[in-house]
């Protein structure tokens, strides 16, 4: 197991190198001179030249790349053009909110999705099954910014006013954004769980369990669900990864100061170091989540050989 983790970590190295090259290239691929942008529109050519020198833009590209990576490894991703603060500080002040949001939303979608999927599968072709699947289809098809706005409309504005419209910090703040983000995930997980369970329920070993005299509830939750989880875990991992980098719209709708909002602000302010840094961090988190998903396969099903 340990050997596998190390090997799997090694495998992520090329991915991470690829990510840094892409992120590094951003600086040079966008139109305009970064030094000009950083120095400001009104800067004199001398000031721009000084800035170029300071940013090392006159060095050969490989030298620039290695100095970028070298700095990144020590946690130095440059400074924000807007605020002048270290990019790492900017990111890590925003990251916890986004991670919290992604975690809660994922938990909610797992909880609703698994229960709905299992019920749907055990009651297949009944009214309950059809109802759950139709609701899931709605959940999947609703654009989440729209759902967010609707939730605000009905639950945050008069007459109900149950939850605050915007912001983050108290449990009341969490409810609507998490509900908004969790819905689509719950729908996907419910559909995945259903089809996976239906597949497993027809397997020979389920018949063996029945022939042993095992109770139906235990057959479903112990014998079948554990086997049905593998495709579900894959989907959960992907969802979580997407949420980590992709809560942009919802953070905007609910005015939550998370990573997504930081990226948007940085892009509109042409704050390249912050954009670069955020993309790098999001990509690294995605790699990490995928690693965790792979490790969980082994935990769920011993047939999957790791070494």
Partner 1 sequence: MSDKQNTIIDVNELQTSFFVDGKEVKAVDGVTFDVPSGKTLGIVGESGSGKSITSLSIMRLINNPGKIKGGEINFNGENLLDKSEAQMRKIRGNQISMIFQEPMTSLNPVFTVADQIGEAVMIHQKLSKKKAREKSLEMLKLVGIPSPEKRLDNYPHELSGGMRQRVMIAIALACRPELLIADEPTTALDVTIQAQILRLIRNLQEELGMSVILITHDLGVVAETCDYVAVMYAGKIVEYADVNTLFRDPKHPYTVGLLKSLPRHDIDMEGDLSTIKGMVPTPDNMPKGCRFAPRCPFARDMCRENLPHLEDEGDGNQVRCWIHTDQWDGPEVNVKDDYESAASKQS
194 touching partner 1, by CB under 8 A: no
Report the distance separating Cα 117 and Cα 257, nearest Å: 34
303 is a site residue for partner 1 (CB under 8 A): yes
Binding of residue 302 to partner 1 (CB under 8 A): yes
The answer to whether 226 contacts partner 1 (rule: CB under 8 A) is yes
Among 12, 36, 50, 203, binds partner 1 (CB under 8 A): 203
The Cα-based distances of 287 to 74, 98, 148, 241, 255 in angstroms read 19, 17, 29, 9, 28
Distance CA(207)–CA(101), nearest Å, equals 41
* Interface region with partner 1, contact rule CB under 8 A, candidates 22-30, 98-106, 114-122, 204-212: 204-212
| CA distance linking residue 170 with residue 162, whole number of Å | 13
Least distance from partner 1 to the Cβ atom of residue 198, Å:
13
Evaluate the omega torsion of the peptide bond into residue 61 and state whether it is cis, within 30 degrees of 0: no
Among the listed residues 207, 221, 255, 267, the single contact to partner 1 using CB under 8 A: 207
Please provide the size of the chain in residues: 307
How many residues lie near partner 1 (CB under 8 A)? 19
Among candidate residues 124, 53, 99, the one with its CA nearest the CA of residue 244: 99
Instruction: Candidates 106-114, 188-196, 200-208, 256-264: pick the segment binding partner 1 (CB under 8 A).
Output: 200-208
Residue 211 binds to partner 1 (criterion: CB under 8 A)? yes
Q: Is 142 in the site for partner 1 (CB under 8 A)?
A: no
Q: Does 1 bind partner 1 (CB under 8 A)?
A: no
DSSP per residue, 38-100 = HH-TT--HHHHHHHHHHHTTTS-HHHHHHHHHHHHHTT---B-TTT-SBHHHHHHHHHHHHHH
- Per CB under 8 A, the list member of 111, 215, 231, 267 interacting with partner 1 is 215
| Segment holding 165, helix H or strand E | none
- For partner 1, the binding residue among 73, 212, 217, 307 (CB under 8 A) is 212
Applying CB under 8 A, which part among 161-169, 172-180, 235-243, 296-304 lies near partner 1? 296-304
Chain contacts with partner 1 (rule: CB under 8 A):
203-205, 207-215, 223, 226-227, 300-303
């Amino acid at each position: 197991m340990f050997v596998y983790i190390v090997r799997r970590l090694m495998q992520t190295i090329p991915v991470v190198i690829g990510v840094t090259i892409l992120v590094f290239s951003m600086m040079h691929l966008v139109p305009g001179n970064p030094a000009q942008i950083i120095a400001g529109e009104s800067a004199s050519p001398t000031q721009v030249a000084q800035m170029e020198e300071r940013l090392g833009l006159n060095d050969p590209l490989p030298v620039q790349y290695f100095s970028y990576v070298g700095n990144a490894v020590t946690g130095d991703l440059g400074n924000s053009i807007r605020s002048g603060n270290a990019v790492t500080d900017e990111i890590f002040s925003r990251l916890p909110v986004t991670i919290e949001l992604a975690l809660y939303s994922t938990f909610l979608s797992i909880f609703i999705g698994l229960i709905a999927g299992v019920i749907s599968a055990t009651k297949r072709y009944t009214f309950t099954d059809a109802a759950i699947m139709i609701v899931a289809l709605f959940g999947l098809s609703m654009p989440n910014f729209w759902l967010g706005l609707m939730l605000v409309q009905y639950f945050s504005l008069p007459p109900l006013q149950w939850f605050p419209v915007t912001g983050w910090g108290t449990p009341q703040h969490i409810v609507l954004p998490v509900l908004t983000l969790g819905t689509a995930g719950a729908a996907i997980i419910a559909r995945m769980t259903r089809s996976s369970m239906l597949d497993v329920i027809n397997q020979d070993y389920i018949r063996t369990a029945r022939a042993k005299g095992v109770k139906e509830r235990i057959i479903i939750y112990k014998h079948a669900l554990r086997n049905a989880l593998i495709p579900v875990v894959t989907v959960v991992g992907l969802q979580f990864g997407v949420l980590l980098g992709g809560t942009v719209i919802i953070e905007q709708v609910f005015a939550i100061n998370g990573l997504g909002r930081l990226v948007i602000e940085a892009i509109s302010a042409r704050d390249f170091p912050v954009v670069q840094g955020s993309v790098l961090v999001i990509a690294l988190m995605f790699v990490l989540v995928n690693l965790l998903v792979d490790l969980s396969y082994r935990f769920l099903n011993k047939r999957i050989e790791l070494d």
